Structure 1
């Protein structure tokens, strides 16, 4: 009988799942989903291959479990950052900055190369979980429209456009360049949803400062790739 990790069978199962998720994430980053096997994932996780089947019947099921776990953690962290905010503009700014920050920690949806190897059924299940994050943005925009802060608009169009902008890469890892890129991205998204950024407001002042500072940086540093794609 395999050694129990943690203080109970439930803890053992959860810790085993987390080990498998971590191994999957690492191996996907190194070689891609299609190039790795369930046996390699088990080995990297330090889990017996047979034991893996107690949790997931196949590699695609493991991927769905991983994305479900990541999405739930991601959405919970994002929601906590929004809970104490009432102003729709500040909620949207926080959503943008949190999306940029959290994408360094969580890895949600598979890229195009994954979509090419997953079954349609698995793609649909993955999409169901990614929609959780989109629902948070939709709620922010809906509340802003209802209060008159944002103009009326088709959220079925706006929501995926905003998230497509935020999903792109190109924001520097750290330093002043990163902060400037985040401020510029917040300003861009606010304008995109129809917020009038008036001179003298904190949003306008921060964006203006970022733009002035960008004079000495390259175009790749000052504009996130998501905005230039």
Structure 2
């Protein structure tokens, strides 16, 4: 009988999943996704080679579950921060700052190389999580336009441009906030 980690079966499952996610992050820093096996993930996570299949069907399932967990954690943090927003411009400031401040803590994307190796179904599942984050930004922009605070002709293009600004790593968050707010006509 395998040893249960944590005080309950639920805690065991969560801790095991977290260990596998940490292993995935570590191993992807060392080699490509196609060079990883489920046995590699299990060994790095410190769990049995067959036990990993009690939690994940395959490598794609690990990536999808990891993306889901990261998105859920990020959205919880973002929602909490946005509760203190005083209007759309402040909400945009918080959105940009939170995204940039948390880029080291959260994995916002694995890159096109990894996505190209996943099944279409897995990519579609991951896309659902991206849409959840995008819906927060869309809501902020829509609120700003409705309040007359933002001048936006095309919300979808504006969302892409805002997210492009957030991809930079060499610019101070304050400079990005100022740029985005000016671009929105604030």
Quick check: TM above 0.5?
yes
Structure with the greater alpha carbon radius of gyration: 1
Aligned partners of 1:24, 1:134: CA distance in 2, in Å? Answer: 25
Deviation at 1:86, TM superposition (A): 2.4
Report the count of equivalent residues. Answer: 186
Deviation at 1:37, TM superposition (A): 1.3
Tell me what 1:151 maps to. 151
Tell me what 1:183 maps to. 174
Deviating beyond 4 angstroms after TM superposition, the runs of 4 or more aligned structure 1 residues are none
Tell me what 2:42 maps to. 42
Aligned partners of 1:35, 1:6: CA distance in 2, in Å? Answer: 31
Deviation at 1:88, TM superposition (A): 1.1
> Any conservation in 2 of the 1:150–1:193 contact (CA below 8 Å)?
yes
> Any conservation in 2 of the 1:56–1:62 contact (CA below 8 Å)?
yes
Unaligned runs of 5+ in 2: none
Unaligned runs of 5+ in 1: 172-180, 196-229
Aligned partners of 1:127, 1:109: CA distance in 2, in Å? Answer: 11
TM-score by length of 2: 0.95
Tell me what 1:8 maps to. 8
Tell me what 1:129 maps to. 129
Question: Aligned-pair RMSD on alpha carbons?
Answer: 1.2
Q: Please state whether the residue corresponding to 1:47 is helix, strand or coil.
A: coil
Tell me what 2:31 maps to. 31
Deviation at 1:85, TM superposition (A): 1.2
Which of 167, 177, 192 is 2:183 aligned to? 192
TM-score by length of 1: 0.78
